[in-house]
Amino acid sequence: MADSTAHSPADADHPVYVIGGGPGGLAVAYTLRARGIRAVVLEKSDRVGASWRGHYDRLHLHTTRRLSGLPGLPMPRRFGRWVGRDDVVRYLEKYAEHHELEIVTSVEVSRVERAPAGDGWLLRATGGRELTGAAVVVATGYNHTPRFPDWPGRDTYTGELLHASAYRNPKPYAGRDVLVVGVGNTGAEIAVDLVEGGASRVRLSVRTAPHIVRRSTAGWAAQYSGVLCRRLPVALVDRLSRPLAKLSVPDLSAQGLPRPDTGLYSRVLEGAVPVQDVGLIDAVRKGRVEVVAAVDGFDDGKVALADGTLVEPDAVIAATGYVRALEGLVGHLDVLDAGGRPVVHGARTPSHAPGLYFTGFTNPISGMLRELAMDAEKIAKAVVKEAGDRVSRLPVT
């Protein structure tokens, strides 16, 4: 990785600026570099992989090591099949170093605008910097800004309330009563972590029952099925997944987790990926994780649930997701949909904003890292084709 003082983006002619030093940004930077194009990664923290460093301790990829490597460097076999958080961070650091990527740290881009000359893009960044690039790739991440629902009474609640992004391990909760809100992969795994870490009681607040799949069945990873189904018709995948779910996942209706009425792939397209089981099924079946109704708000120091129940846990952990937080950066360019997501991604650019690319803002069943790797190659090819002579080239050595 280039030292943050070795290359100043202000000295650049017209490089491609990549906003974000996570896996998506690093992959794009490499694929551009491999084609002789100067790509400068702008990372707001002081190191690459910042979001990965902040995840909870027990996190492992739910995708296989072989299908999670980025272009130009496979993940080492010693990481095992399901790569842990710390090894993902090591991999990203090695990736940047191995490919000699040009990365400028501690620089946050606040706004992307059209260049005054109409040729490329102007980036406004930390310290009053104004950087001009031939193209821009926004790779600020799917899990960017923690989202807290606007629960009534939340602002006056005096109990311990934190977002899942602040959770690290179960040690502070040993012997305590904890309510986890949200049953995505993060909420499910934190609930299991708390049980295994000695919490006295763990309740899991669920608004909509999720699809649950085994991470691996007889050696067959769920990701493999996701890859096979990626391009199939949604209705067909929904139909095929129902009998498979009945064979592999027990009915948890009696414990408060009925099988969803909507199809698995239909839910994915709505933004709800299946929960990959890393212990939740057994914990729920044995009553170690109690499923309760959705949270409606807070009332006089207690948590009000949708079924009218009031509970008084020692701590509430909100696994309620994230927002992309792209409005300030590119919202004025009319490139976001009503939900704040880019209207295009990968090699496509908005028709009225050529040269502006987005990667990492979808959550496909085939695996995020796999899709980031594929998008990186496509984006690099598109930049070569569209930017032509306007983009800075690396010196020939």
Overall average pLDDT of the 271-289 stretch? 95
Q: How far apart are the first and last CA of the chain?
A: 19
What pLDDT score was predicted for residue 390? 80
Q: Is the pLDDT reported for residue 9 higher than 70?
A: no
Long-range pairs, 297-304, Cβ under 8 A, ≥24: 297/151, 297/152, 297/153, 297/154, 298/151, 298/152, 298/153, 298/154, 298/156, 298/157, 298/159, 299/153, 301/157, 301/158, 301/159, 303/159, 303/179, 304/153
Q: Give backbone dihedrals phi and psi of 212, rounded to 5 degrees, phi first.
A: -115, 130
% of the chain surpassing 70 pLDDT: 96
For the ranges 41-55, 246-260, 329-343, 380-394, the lowest mean pLDDT is seen at 380-394
What pLDDT score was predicted for residue 168? 98
For the ranges 11-15, 107-111, 174-178, 368-372, the lowest mean pLDDT is seen at 11-15
Dist CA 274 CA 304 (whole Å): 27
What pLDDT score was predicted for residue 330? 97
Q: Is the pLDDT reported for residue 12 higher than 80?
A: no
Q: Is the pLDDT reported for residue 6 higher than 50?
A: no
Question: Helices (DSSP H) in 120-262: which residue ranges?
Answer: 185-196, 222-229, 234-248
> For the chain, which domains are there?
9-144+324-390 (3.50.50.60), 147-318 (3.50.50.60)
Q: Is the pLDDT reported for residue 395 higher than 90?
A: no
What pLDDT score was predicted for residue 225? 94
Read off the pLDDT band of 46 (50, 70, 90): very high
Read off the pLDDT band of 144 (50, 70, 90): confident
Q: Is the pLDDT reported for residue 10 higher than 70?
A: no
Overall average pLDDT of the 41-53 stretch? 96
Per-chain mean pLDDT for the chain: 93
Q: Across the strands, what pairs with 205?
A: 181, 292
Overall average pLDDT of the 327-349 stretch? 95
Q: What is the DSSP letter of 345?
A: -
Read off the pLDDT band of 396 (50, 70, 90): low
What pLDDT score was predicted for residue 230? 86
Confirm if 28 and 39 have CB atoms less than 8 A apart.
Answer: yes
For the ranges 1-10, 202-211, 246-255, 309-318, the lowest mean pLDDT is seen at 1-10
What pLDDT score was predicted for residue 5? 38
What pLDDT score was predicted for residue 236? 95
Read off the pLDDT band of 381 (50, 70, 90): very high
% of the chain surpassing 90 pLDDT: 86
For the ranges 60-64, 164-168, 194-198, 269-273, the lowest mean pLDDT is seen at 269-273
Read off the pLDDT band of 394 (50, 70, 90): confident
What pLDDT score was predicted for residue 13? 74
pLDDT top residue among 172 and 3: 172
Read off the pLDDT of residues 21-43 as tens digits, 9 standing for 90 and up.
Answer: 999 999 999 999 999 999 999 99
Q: Is the pLDDT reported for residue 2 higher than 60?
A: no
Confirm if 128 and 106 have CB atoms less than 8 A apart.
Answer: no
Q: Is the pLDDT reported for residue 7 higher than 50?
A: no
Buried b (16+ CB within 10 A) or exposed e, 270-306: eebbbbbbbbbbebbeeebbbbbbebbbbeeebbbbe
